[in-house]
Amino acid sequence: MKITNIITHIIFFYVDGFRQMKVGKKLWLLIGIKLLILFGVMKFFFFPNYLKTTYDTDEARSMHLIEHLTKERQ
Amino acid sequence: MELMSTELIDWSRAQFALTALYHFLFVPLTLGLSFIVAIMETIYVKTGDLKWKTITRFWMTLFAINFAIGVATGLIMEFEFGTNWANYSWFVGDIFGAPLAVEGILAFFMESTFFAVMFFGWNKVSKGFHLLSTWLVAVGSNLSAFWILVANGWMQYPVGMEFNPDTVRNEMASFWDVALSPVAVAKFLHTIGSGYVIGGLFVIGVSAWMILKGRDVLEAKRSMVVGASFGLLVSIFLAVSGDESAYQAAQHQPVKLAAMEGLYKGEERAGIIAVGILNPDKKIGDDLHPIYGDIEIPYALSFLGYHDVDAFVPGLDDLVLGNEKYGIEGAASKIEKGKIAIKALEEYKEAKKADDQTAMSEARKLLDEYMPYFGYGYLEKPTDIVPPIALTFYSFHIMVGLGMWFIILFLIVLYLTMANDITRFRKVLWLALLSIPLGYVAAEAGWVVAEVGRQPWAIQDLMPVGIAATDIDAGNVQVSFWLFALLFTALLIAEIKIMLRQIAIGIKGGH
């Protein structure tokens, strides 16, 4: 079997599978909404990577942490 | 110790607890039901009986609903690591990243590929290949859990790494020491065991409901045989793996074990408190009796913790104040050593700035020597090593009590299904149905024991939670906490509604 045939078979396998879904369609919709909320809202607005967005280099990140770990504590 | 605001730390902690506990509402059923479905399909392929195909497809649909609702809920914890726990994330370096990366790759390739064959492949691929895919989905789901629990196990018992003061990160020295750490392995076995028990409870509970309603009774009874047999085996396995978890706690987290049992004064031939109420006035070092109305199983704690009925089990007093007779170092001494380690790190930093190689080498030597106590240097007083005792104690006893109940329930249900006519035992059927939520209560209680019981540590002995947190705006964490609470509650309601609708359609109702 040619590679293009194999790829076509795989694509139709998925397309047919999605077409014949009953509960699955609702579930995919839920997954889509969930991922949109998680990445489009939560990650974007509330969860920036603190060290990546605050410091430009790994050296600066290391410095931040060593200062944090060794600063005078009462 | 002057840490960031307690309010911020508590909200960050609460948010992580909320996401972990909610995430673990979805995960265990995936772990358990995946194997039950694979067993049912195996029976279908072996016997060729189409009723088993119908049964398999019904439970497979419920598996898919749970999987779809739960998928990606764990990602939120990774968001939190980068934002709320940035100091922790940097400090753990690739130790935490490597197992999670392996998990991500495995989950993507194994689960997503074979998941599609499992659901779209009926009548399109051979019976054998379909069955193989179903088993691989089950194995893949469980392997994903393994890598996540390796990461968690490392936090409970950090091994296989070296601290590099130049990068201020722990760097992996041995992948296999991390992956096969006895704590990680015990944690994995016990956690997946709880998922399997929940799978068994879910199958017998839903089947019981169908029998009570007189729906698809034959198929429900067949499902019940598989669910109860599987449940009985795995609930016994769960008890055995729990024994190993307690053994590991005794070796590496003795404070957690003492809190689990409300044990203040250590003793030889220590027993386990089967039933009892903690004395709320009890304090470390005083002479008050710690537990009211206690019924004890003699020798059991010594055996559980050290596999020796005569062994001495240290109590909280011994671990906080020290016990010379048994060679137990008190927390005050560890705090002093931790301060030396922190001071050595500071001296290393200054020597590096001054490019003083000799001073760097001396500071490094001192740091390496005292690094195992590093986290203690951030604690104010010896009693800071004690976790919330009541929460740990009651969670542990609820978990163990329910675990015992599940063994009895599976045994009764299996006996009545195989040797009698379970349809006549309506009270047992109701008990099976009502025990579904109890499985989740037990699993969540187990997480509380594991995570609350290891406080104050983010990484055992190396980093307390207050140092691990990021100094960000507490208001931001509060808002995202409530958003997550809303999102997860909505997902849970959606799951229950879709699941109930599918169950109402029945086993023979089409999928």
Using a CB-CB cut-off of 8 Å, the residues of chain B touching A68 are 87, 467
Look at residue B97 in the predicted model and tell me its pLDDT: 75
Look at residue A73 in the predicted model and tell me its pLDDT: 60
Segment A9-31 shows an average pLDDT of: 78
pLDDT tens, position by position, B90-120: 999 878 777 777 777 777 677 778 888 888 8
Shortest Cα distance from B69 to chain A (angstroms)? 7
Q: What is the mean pLDDT of chain B?
A: 92
Look at residue B1 in the predicted model and tell me its pLDDT: 45
Do the chains contact at A37 and B487, CB–CB below 8 Å? Answer: yes
Contact pairs from chain A to chain B, CB under 8 Å: 114
What is d(CA B85, CA B87) in angstroms, rounded to the nearest whole number? 6
Do the chains contact at B82 and A52, CB–CB below 8 Å? Answer: yes
What is d(CA B197, CA B38) in angstroms, rounded to the nearest whole number? 16
Segment B389-418 shows an average pLDDT of: 97
Cα-trace Rg, chain B: 25
Look at residue B93 in the predicted model and tell me its pLDDT: 81
Using a CB-CB cut-off of 8 Å, the residues of chain B touching A14 are 116, 120
Q: What is the mean pLDDT of chain A?
A: 83
Look at residue B47 in the predicted model and tell me its pLDDT: 96
Segment B339-347 shows an average pLDDT of: 95
**Out of B71-75, B211-215, B338-342, B420-424, which region has the weakest mean confidence (pLDDT)?**
B71-75
Using a CB-CB cut-off of 8 Å, the residues of chain B touching A18 are 120
Do the chains contact at B498 and A23, CB–CB below 8 Å? Answer: yes
Any long-range contacts for B504-509 (C-beta under 8 Å, 24+ apart)? B506/B58, B506/B210, B506/B215, B506/B216, B507/B54, B507/B55, B507/B58, B507/B210, B507/B215, B507/B216, B507/B219, B507/B220, B507/B223, B508/B54, B508/B216, B508/B219
Taking a C-beta distance cutoff of 8 angstroms, is the pair B214, B272 a contact?
no
Segment B353-382 shows an average pLDDT of: 95
Return the C-alpha torsion angle B102, B104, B107, B113, nearest 10: -110
Look at residue B108 in the predicted model and tell me its pLDDT: 67
**Out of A5-19, B11-25, B203-217, B307-321, which region has the weakest mean confidence (pLDDT)?**
A5-19
Look at residue A74 in the predicted model and tell me its pLDDT: 44
Q: pLDDT exceeding 70 applies to what percent of chain B?
A: 98
Look at residue A72 in the predicted model and tell me its pLDDT: 63
Look at residue A1 in the predicted model and tell me its pLDDT: 63
- At residue A63 the predicted structure's pLDDT band, cuts being 50, 70 and 90, is very high
Shortest Cα distance from B401 to chain A (angstroms)? 36
What is d(CA B440, CA B437) in angstroms, rounded to the nearest whole number? 5
pLDDT reading at B40 higher than 50:
yes
Segment B27-53 shows an average pLDDT of: 95
Measured in whole angstroms, the distance separating CA A42 from the mean position of its chain's CA atoms is 12
pLDDT reading at B198 higher than 50:
yes
pLDDT tens, position by position, B405-419: 999 999 999 999 998
Shortest Cα distance from B476 to chain A (angstroms)? 7
- At residue A25 the predicted structure's pLDDT band, cuts being 50, 70 and 90, is confident
pLDDT tens, position by position, B323-335: 999 999 999 999 9
What is d(CA B191, CA B377) in angstroms, rounded to the nearest whole number? 32
Measured in whole angstroms, the distance separating CA B394 from the mean position of its chain's CA atoms is 16
A11 vs B339: which has the higher pLDDT: B339
Report the predicted TM-score, pTM, of the whole model to 2 decimal places: 0.91
Length of chain B: 511
The residue of chain B with its CA nearest to that of A32 is B68
- At residue A11 the predicted structure's pLDDT band, cuts being 50, 70 and 90, is confident
The region that residue A21 occupies, defined by phi over 0 for left and psi between -120 and 50 for alpha, beta otherwise, is beta
pLDDT reading at B197 higher than 80:
yes
Using a CB-CB cut-off of 8 Å, the residues of chain A touching B479 are 46
| Ramachandran angles phi, psi of B370, nearest 5° | -100, 5
Do the chains contact at B480 and A27, CB–CB below 8 Å? Answer: no
What is d(CA B102, CA B99) in angstroms, rounded to the nearest whole number? 5
Look at residue B473 in the predicted model and tell me its pLDDT: 86
Which of B16, B77, B123, B349 best tests the A interface by mutation, with the highest count of A CBs <10 A?
B349
pLDDT tens, position by position, B463-510: 999 999 998 888 888 998 998 899 889 888 988 898 898 898 888 876
Look at residue B417 in the predicted model and tell me its pLDDT: 94
